[in-house]
């Protein structure tokens, strides 16, 4: 049985030349497997599509996480003295950090276009 055209082995039909036979209620796979409904096949297709989307999102998140850039710096006043406890934020997000006792900080940003405030 060819699952793509629904024709029995030895009588292969191309996908473009297949025509529904007179009296057939369902073409192809569904005709040969009457216990499987269109609803079940539709649900399986939706599940597989959703699984593919989830895998794609996971892969793109992992790639973007691996492209993160670590920024380090020191915040000082006009006299060059360290400023501890200063908030450093990634503009447009809730991600941030605070300078330590020496005025130093470290933060990971997604790319070179990141702006710290």
Per-residue pLDDT, 17 = 47
Domains of the chain, residue spans: 36-64, 68-109
Per-residue pLDDT, 112 = 80
Which residues neighbour 75 within 8 Å (Cβ) at sequence distance 6 or greater?
Answer: 82, 83, 86, 88, 99, 103, 105
Q: What is the pLDDT of residues 102-114, one digit of tens each?
A: 999 999 888 888 8
Q: What is the pLDDT of residues 7-18, one digit of tens each?
A: 555 555 454 445
> pLDDT confidence of 26, banded at 50, 70, 90?
low
Average pLDDT score over the chain: 77
Per-residue pLDDT, 76 = 92
Q: Is 73 helix (H, G, I), strand (E, B) or coil?
A: strand
Q: What is the pLDDT of residues 34-75, one digit of tens each?
A: 667 777 878 888 888 888 888 888 777 666 656 788 899 999
Which pTM was predicted?
0.44
Contact criterion met (CB below 8 Å) for 113 and 71: no
């Amino acid at each position: 049985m060819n699952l793509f055209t629904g024709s029995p082995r030895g009588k292969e039909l191309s996908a473009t030349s297949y025509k529904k036979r007179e009296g057939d209620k369902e073409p192809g796979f569904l005709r040969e497997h009457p216990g499987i409904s269109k609803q079940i096949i539709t649900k399986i297709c939706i599940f597989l599509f959703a699984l593919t989307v989830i895998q794609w999102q996971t892969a793109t998140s992992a790639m973007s996480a691996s492209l993160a850039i670590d920024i380090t710096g020191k915040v000082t006043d006009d006299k060059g003295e360290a400023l501890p406890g200063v908030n450093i934020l990634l503009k447009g997000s809730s991600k941030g950090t605070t300078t330590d006792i020496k005025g130093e900080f470290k933060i990971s940003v997604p790319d070179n276009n990141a702006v710290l405030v």
